[in-house]
Amino acid sequence: MTFLKGILIYVVFGLIGLFILKVIISYFWEKRREQKYWEFYEKNQMVIVQEIPININNAINEKNGIFRKKELIVGGKPFEFFWIETFETVQMINTRQTLYYYYLTVAFLPNTVSQEFMRIAENLQISGTSAKAFLTINTEKPKKVQRLFDGSFTITWQVLNRAEIFQKKIDWLQANLS
């Protein structure tokens, strides 16, 4: 009986130690991810703005987003755009779990981008729904692409708030803007 107690104590303390190790690793992992997030904004020199043009705000239906402004130089030509981070919450029925869905919208003022660029973005847009699309987050393809009545243009992706995902969006813009 004493032997079994010893094994049980060993197992319990081992599990407690693993749990504590997991908490410590998770803490430092999250801190590093947050640091990369802020480094991304510093590197890309995005400026926070208090509001965005009303037509763009109405199109994305957002009141509480984080609005930033950025200018990319592509082929010697400046392209100014709004970088808009938003999220929505969904409360699961019969549970206490809340799901968070994060979105990134890049919005261009009228006559800023070419028809070719708009066509490229529209062709990438996710079309239709599938079980896989419902269960996974596709951060590569835009969820919504809009040409607004005044000539403004928006591209919205579902994202995870991670610097490497945001950097891929900047790289994609750099490669495709015209």
Return per-residue pLDDT of the chain as tens, 178 residues: 677 777 777 777 777 777 676 766 666 666 666 787 778 888 988 889 998 999 999 888 876 789 999 999 998 999 999 999 998 888 878 788 888 889 999 999 999 999 999 999 999 987 766 555 556 788 889 999 999 999 999 999 999 888 999 999 999 999 999 8
Tell me if 87 sits within 8 A of 100, measured CB to CB: yes
Give the H or E element holding residue 116. helix 115-124
pLDDT at 84: 95
Domain coordinates in residue numbering, the chain = 1-44, 45-176
Tell me if 168 sits within 8 A of 149, measured CB to CB: no
Pairing of strands 77-91, 153-159: unpaired
pLDDT at 99: 84
> Please, what is the end-to-end C-alpha distance for the chain in angstroms?
77
pLDDT at 49: 92
Mapping DSSP to helix (H, G, I), strand (E, B) and coil, where does residue 146 land?
Answer: strand
